[in-house]
Amino acid sequence: MLRVAVVGSGPSGVYAAQTLAQQREVPGVRVDVLDRLPAPYGLVRYGVAPDHEKIKSLQGSLRTVLEDERIRFLGRVEVGGEQLSTGRLLELYHAVVYCVGAARDRLLDIPGEELAGVHSATAFVSWYSGHPDACAEEFGLPGVSSAVVIGAGNVAVDVTRILARGVPELSPTDMPQPALGALAASGLRTVAMVARRGPSQGKFTTKELRELGTLPSVDVLVDPAELALDPAYADPAAAAALPAAARRNLEVLRGWAERGPADGRRRIALRFHLRPVEVLGGPDGRVRAVRFERTLPDGLGGVTGTGTYEDLPAELVLRSVGYRGVPPAGLPFDSAKGTVPHAAGRVLRAGRASVGEYVAGWIKRGPTGVIGTNRPCAKETVSSLLQDAGALARRDLPGDPLDALRAAGLRPVLWPGWLAIEAAESELGRSLGRGSVKIPDWPGLLEAAGAETV
């Protein structure tokens, strides 16, 4: 029997476990999927916007994999700490596949970024998605009337949409009750999503972009003069050279620019060619505005400053300008690439393959791609592992790893514990007159899991 640990229960981890369990080259493979959290599914549970039900329904497919008799879920197990080092984990399994995100948001690196009211979009997403590490976050939403989101990717679009949505549309989702209540009390009137480059260089998908125009009682405002700064906007030849998605985005924006404002209760302003240079604060130490410099295309795919500035009012600022890699404890790390060095998924230590250690997902390739990108990524890694299986399986193991984890003081949440959390979230939703509602804090999750299943 080949015993494998997969660290991380998001899509990349589940796809790796599925590929291992379903392959026929090496019989008798058993997989333990470990996660620091007591709940599985990674960013599908804690990163996909609550109003994106179609994407969140992927949890059903991930559930089917984790219920396979050859796969065991062990939640509430943190790898890399005092209780369970990467070295100790490798003593308990023939092979370990690390499928962790390894990314945090990038900073703007401008004056005033430390002011109260300035946050990362990543933290905001974690908060409204019910991540237990984010339940104590304070975004000061009650009384906020204006917000600025800096970035031009799908995460920026997501947080803009959530801020502009009304409570009636969010109430049917699984958003935690505290987050729903804070958004209801915000009084938000204007959300500006600001990009330093032009619309043809936006990283958002057309589907996400179009959603902004479907929000009830929300106007989407686009300045035609800013669109005109993009060479592809008025030049058919330049537009034809763009990828199809960029051309579609331009047409959506063109339609909004030509339509003009209506009379919505809230407004989303999509701004382009503005580079943040300073966050301005008031005497209370909170953000009151963001100063931007007007930019123009430099002809090389980037932009250059013009020396002209504009201040946008903001009582809340969310930055969404990309991610930076975080070195995982106990593994080598390439700080320039933000990934673990590897060869086809095999972890490299000092340039040589580390026997039994593998990576998949963001920690392998960086924060790129969509959910589906994780499947071929995981398959490549598992293929490397299976090629090594003959040598790996020769090593004797000490017994059931679960016994060793408990002996080290860990109390893993098993699959029945997760099912108990699901049941508790359904009951919480019923008590609030809603559907299933996430439990957003560690004590609540562990209490729901139940001592007898931990």
Binding-site residues for FAD sit at 12, 43, 79, 362, 369-371
Give the number of other Cβ atoms within 10 Å of residue 304's Cβ.
12
Sheet holding 190-194, edge to edge: 118-120, 316-319, 146-150, 190-194, 266-271, 218-222
Q: Are 354 and 346 in contact (CB under 8 A)?
A: yes
Structure tokens at 47: 């990163």
Q: Which residues of 416-443 are buried (b: 16+ CB within 10 A; e: fewer)?
A: ebbebbeebbeebbeeeebeebbbbbee
In three-state secondary structure terms, 410 is coil
Cα separation, 449 vs 418, whole angstroms: 6
Looking at the chain, the number of H-run helices and the number of E-run strands are 19, 18
Long-range contacts of 343-351 (CB under 8 A, 24+ apart): 343/384, 344/380, 344/381, 344/383, 344/384, 345/97, 345/380, 345/381, 345/382, 345/383, 345/384, 345/385, 346/384, 346/388, 347/98
Q: Could you identify the residue written with the tokens 């379903």? A: 22
Radius of gyration for the chain, computed over Cα atoms and rounded to the nearest angstrom: 24
Which neighbouring-strand residues pair with 297? 303
Q: Are 100 and 328 in contact (CB under 8 A)?
A: yes
CA distances from 438 to 82, 172, 179 (A): 30, 12, 11
Question: Beta 346-349 vs 352-359: how paired, if at all?
Answer: antiparallel
Structure tokens at 146: 């204006």
Which residue ranges are tagged as binding site for NADP(+)? 196-197, 208, 369
Which residue ranges are tagged as binding site? 12, 43, 79, 196-197, 208, 362, 369-371
Cα separation, 148 vs 157, whole angstroms: 12
| DSSP per residue, 293-329 | EEEEE-SSSSEEEEEEEEEEE-SEEEE---EEE-PPT
Q: Interior CA angle at 73 toward 98 and 401, to 5°?
A: 75
Q: Could you identify the residue written with the tokens 């009582």? A: 315
Give the number of other Cβ atoms within 10 Å of residue 341's Cβ.
18
